[in-house]
Every structure is written in C-alpha cells, then in structure tokens.
Structure 1
Amino acid sequence: MSYVAIALVVIFAFVLLFSVIKIVPQGREFTVERFGRYTKTLKPGINILTPFVERIGRRMNMMEQVLDVPQQEVITKDNAMVKVDAIVFIQVMEASSAAYRVENLPYAITQLCMTNLRTVVGSMELDEVLFQRDSINSRLLTVIDAATEPWGVKVNRIEIKDLTPPADITNAMARQMKAEREKRAIITEAEGEKQAAIARAEGAKQSAILQSEGRKEAAFRDAEARERAAEAEAKATAMVSEAIARGDVNAINYFVAQKYVEAFAELARNPTQKTVIVPAEMSGLVGTIAGIGQLVGLAQDQQSRPTPPTPPAPARRGGAVPPSA
C-alpha cells in the first residue's frame, strides 16, 4: 500500500506542476482567469499560476493574420451588379480585448468587411468601382480599422481581389476598348500621312530651289559662253576686215565661203526640208576653203621652223669675180 500511495503522490505532484507552470510560445499570449474572471495576460516564456485558483482562459494569436472575405454581389450607384471579394490583414494588439469583447473574432471581422464593402461599392458608379480600387481599399481600411479598435485588433491592409462586372457590360467595355484603339490607330495613321505630305512638300520645295539654282547657273554660263563667242567672232571679223582692207583676195574668198557654208548648213538642218540639192559651186568653195587652210598651215609651219644659217661665200681666185649669169 505504501508504494501505491507514493505513486499517487508523485502523479499528483506532476499534474500539479504542469497545471501551475505554463510555457507560452513566441507570437502567442494567454489570458489568465481566476474563478472565471480575467486577471492578467501571460507573455511568451515561463509563467507560474496559482494552483487550484487560476487557469488559462484564451490562447490568442498575436501574429498578423489573413482573412478571406467571401465573394458577394453588390449593386453599384448606377444599378450595375458586380461580384467582388477581398482579403484583410489583421493583427491582435490586446489579447484581453480580443478575447472578451467579441465572440469569434475572425467571423466578426469578415462580416464587418462584407457589410462595409457593400456600402462603399454601392455608393460609387461602375466606372469608379472598376478604376478606383485604391480608393475603395483606403475607405474600407479607415472604416474597418476604426470599428475593430475596441476589439484590440489592428487592421493593416484591405485589398480587393477581384471585381467581375456582368457579361453584357464586359462585352460593351471590350467594344469600347476596341473602338478606342481603332481611333488611336486612325489618328496615328493620319498624323503619319500629314508628316509624309509635309516631308514631300519640303522635298519638292528643295528640288524646285535646286532646279532654279541650276537653271540660273546654266543661264549664267550660257551667257558667258555667248559673250566669249561674240568676242571671238568680233575679233575674227576685225582680222578679216583688216585683211580685206589690205586687199587680200584669199581672206575675201574665205569670208564669203564661210558665210555660204553656214547658210547651207542652216538650210540642211531645217526639219521640213527632206531633200537637199548641193550646188555645183559647192565643191569649188570647199576646195577653196581647204586650199586656204593648207596655205595657213604651211605658213604656220614656216614660221615655226628655225631659219638655217647662210653659208659663207667661196674664195675668189686671182682677185677676179666671175660674172653673173
């Protein structure tokens, strides 16, 4: 019997020890109740309770938690039905308030988010709901954080996960987006054509300027050539006139033959003239011009050749000069 009693005492001591000494893990806090009344909160670490008087009440998670807000249908201000869901990030700041001020804290926060989501989205038009998610998130965060503050809970973030408008509105939005893109494409194409037309006009302008400059330069050079030709003609005429004044028959014949040939050349170049009759005198004129050209060439060759030295006279014999023949 003594061994049984000792064993019972040992078991009772272990049970009492484990009921008195409590180890709280990191990220958790335990509330302590004395005869059913909250007295204190145990922090992470080893804690000792009063045996048979105090006990652990609630085990609270002090880490940040993520709650999923179920999808629901909400009517917007312009009577459009949209499906919306969200997620909320919360963190318990006071374990006692979260444990004893609200029953089923996750469910309460979820319902609070759903009701405020309907209120916020219902006060906005469909376009605002679709394009102003940040505004919805901010408004929800402000409202829900203020509502959960008495519960000892801090709402860190609220994010809209999905917004699904009706199928007909989605199709209308797709057509609107397509029309908008086609409009941008037409505007871009028109702008490109405008720039191309401007570039072509600028190119035509530059081409006309360059052509005008070219015609101006060509006219200037033609005028200069005609001026030089006139000067040469004047000099040639003056030389021929001087030769005629000296009574040079060849110069007169050359001058007349040249004018005759020029006139005949103009007659031959006439586009309406199909048959050209060469007069009999033409061969004689050509021969005269050729002969004058040969004479001029020979004269030039003689002028260009050096004059040979005169040989010395032979010595006279007996002092007498032979008579000339």
Structure 2
Amino acid sequence: MGSFLWIPIAFFVIVTILSGVFIVKQQTAVLIETFGKFTSVRHSGIQFKIPFVQRISARVGLKIQQLDVIIETKTLDDVFVKLKVSVQYVVIKEKVYDAFYKLEYPHEQITSYVFDVVRAEVPKMKLDDVFVKKDDIAIAVKSELQDAMLDYGYDIIKTLVTDIDPDAQVKEAMNRINASEREKIAAQFEGDAARILIVEKAKAEAESKRLQGMGIADQRREIARGLEESVEVLNKVGINSQEASALIVVTQHYDTLQSIGEETNTNLILLPNSPQAGSDMLNNMVASFTASNMIGESMKKTHKKKDSES
C-alpha cells in the first residue's frame, strides 16, 4: 500500500521540476516575475525558474518590426492627400524592461507621433513639393520618433514615405496636365522633324539643280566644240562658215526627225509654225544638198590627185 503512495508523489515532483524548465527562442526575451514582481530578463537558450514562485510574465520579440500608418492631410495649395508612412523599429535588447513595462501600446504611440509630424510638415508644402521632398518628411518623422521612443526602449531603424495619394479629381487634373505637356513636346519634335526634312529636301533639290546646270553647261560646251570642229572641216573643203552652219542645222534637224521616228509609240507630229517655214525648209534642204555635192566633188578630186602622185 505504501509503495502505491510514492507513485503520485514521484509524478508530482517530476512535473514540478519540468515546469521550472523552459526554452527561449532566438531573437526573443522572456521577462520573469517572482510573486508578481519583476525579477530578470532571460535570453535565448534553456532557462530555469522556481516552480509556483516565479512565472513568465511576457515574451518580447527582438526582431525588426514594421508599422504602416496612413495619414490624410492638406497641402499648402489646399489639396487633400493621403500619405502612407512605414516605420521600422526594434526593441533594444538592453531595454526590454522599459519596452514592456513603460509602454503598453507601442503601435498607438508610434502612430500618434507619425500623425503629429506629418500634419505639421505637409501643410507647409505644395503638392508637387510633397512628391519631391518625401524623403525630408521621412527624416523629420524618424527624428521625432527616435527622441520620443528611445526612453521606452524602442529604436527607430528607418521611416519611409511609401505612397502619396492625392484626391481623385486632383490626380485626374494632373494626368491631363501631363498629357497636354507631353502632346506639346511631341508636337514640337514633329515640327522640328518636318522642318529638318524640308530643309534637307531643299538642299538636295538645290544640289540637284546645281549638278544639272553643270551637266547642261558641259553638254552645251561639248556641242559648241563639236560645231566648231564641224565648221573647220567644212571650211577646209571650200564651204564658208554661213553655209556650214546651215548644213549643220539641217543635219541636226533630220537627226531629230529620225530619232523621233524610231519611237514606235510616239504620237508627235511636227508642223511648220509659219507660212514661210515650208519654203525656208526647202531652201535649206537645197543648200544642204548643194553643199554635200561640193564636198563629194572635192573629195573625189583629192583622191584622184593622190592616185596620180603615187
């Protein structure tokens, strides 16, 4: 009978000893109270406490935490805007007691300070400046929070203004302004491009005309040289310059008619443009035939003379 009494006693002793053993995780601090009074802070690893005398009052995380605060306020140019401020903070390892016992609701305390700073800074700025100087707002929030929360065992790691959301009508107006500005810039670029194309086209046409003029000048120069040589040849066989010129003109006239006649699809008809044109053309043809006969007779005499001398 006595041996059976030792079993519950041994079980009670074992449970009591085990209840005094506890484990603290990494990046966590445990606060121990003895009869309701703070005794110590325990950190990661296996820890012991006196059963029924000491108890774990709280477990405080030492990891970096983030609190997002959304504030609605008004800018200097009377535009309502919502800002999202993200606050990254951590409990200081050496001030776990202050973080737990001095401040009951840290989130509400941080939120109050963020509201106070943002609503003091943003009304001094115009809407465009809020976007440009959002880092200045974040720095002001961190500075205020750092001084206030340090006494409560909290360290402010960083504050960020992660979103700026103006009123819907203001955003629509801003989008219209931006679209108009971009259309204006696009129109300026298109105008510049069109002007460049016109200038370059004019330059190309001027260069083409210059080269064309040079070509015509060269052509006329060669024609004049050829006419000069033709007149010299005809002068050598006893045809004066006037007759030679008439012969050349008639020859060119017939060459032109021949080139036109070679075109199978041409519908061109050449008609005299005055009543005297027909007789003038006939006289020129007779003169050209006479000149041709004279050239032929002269060439025959020259050949005969060379044959007799040989």
Q: Is the 8 A contact 2:33 2:40 kept in 1?
A: yes
Structure 1 window deviating more from structure 2 (6-15 vs 144-153): it is 6-15
Q: Is the 8 A contact 1:120 1:140 kept in 2?
A: no
Structure 2: how far apart are the matches of 1:9 and 1:304? 164
> What does 1:283-302 correspond to in 2, within 5 Å?
290=293, 293=296, 296=299, 300=303
Measured at CA, do residues 54 and 286 of structure 1 come closer, stay the same or move farther in structure 2, by a change above 3 Å?
Answer: closer
Number of the residue aligned with 1:74: 73
Structure 2: how far apart are the matches of 1:121 and 1:291? 112
Structure 1: how far apart are the matches of 2:85 and 2:14? 49
Structure 1: how far apart are the matches of 2:181 and 2:281? 84
Number of the residue aligned with 1:30: 30
Q: Is the 8 A contact 1:30 1:57 kept in 2?
A: yes
Amino acid in the other structure paired with 1:222 = I
Number of the residue aligned with 1:48: 48
2:189 aligned counterpart, secondary structure: helix
Deviation (angstroms), 1:294: 7.0
Q: Is the 8 A contact 1:21 1:47 kept in 2?
A: yes
The percentage of aligned residue pairs carrying the same residue is: 25
Number of matched pairs = 288
Structure 2: how far apart are the matches of 1:98 and 1:3? 52
Number of the residue aligned with 1:125: 126
> What does 1:157-236 correspond to in 2, within 5 Å?
157-236=158-237
Measured at CA, do residues 188 and 50 of structure 1 come closer, stay the same or move farther in structure 2, by a change above 3 Å?
Answer: same
Deviation (angstroms), 1:184: 0.8
Deviation (angstroms), 1:191: 0.9
2:279 aligned counterpart, secondary structure: coil
Amino acid in the other structure paired with 2:49 = L
Structure 1 window deviating more from structure 2 (122-131 vs 289-298): it is 289-298
Amino acid in the other structure paired with 2:296 = G
Structure 2: how far apart are the matches of 1:12 and 1:63? 37
Number of the residue aligned with 2:113: 112
Deviation (angstroms), 1:39: 3.4
Measured at CA, do residues 263 and 185 of structure 1 come closer, stay the same or move farther in structure 2, by a change above 3 Å?
Answer: closer
Measured at CA, do residues 227 and 275 of structure 1 come closer, stay the same or move farther in structure 2, by a change above 3 Å?
Answer: closer
Deviation (angstroms), 1:193: 1.7
Structure 2: how far apart are the matches of 1:286 and 1:121? 108
2:76 aligned counterpart, secondary structure: coil
1:276 aligned counterpart, secondary structure: helix
Q: Which runs of 5+ in 1 are unaligned?
A: 241-254, 308-325
TM-score normalised per structure 1: 0.71
Larger Rg: 1
Amino acid in the other structure paired with 1:166 = D
Deviation (angstroms), 1:13: 1.7
Structure 2: how far apart are the matches of 1:140 and 1:263? 103
Deviation (angstroms), 1:37: 3.5
Measured at CA, do residues 116 and 3 of structure 1 come closer, stay the same or move farther in structure 2, by a change above 3 Å?
Answer: farther
Structure 1: how far apart are the matches of 2:248 and 2:26? 126
Deviations 1:60-81 (A, max 9, x none): 0111222232x33212223221
Structure 1 window deviating more from structure 2 (3-12 vs 195-204): it is 3-12
Measured at CA, do residues 289 and 127 of structure 1 come closer, stay the same or move farther in structure 2, by a change above 3 Å?
Answer: closer
Q: Which runs of 5+ in 2 are unaligned?
A: 254-270
Number of the residue aligned with 1:98: 99
> What does 1:147-158 correspond to in 2, within 5 Å?
147-158=148-159
Number of the residue aligned with 2:268: none
Deviation (angstroms), 1:40: 2.5
2:59 aligned counterpart, secondary structure: strand
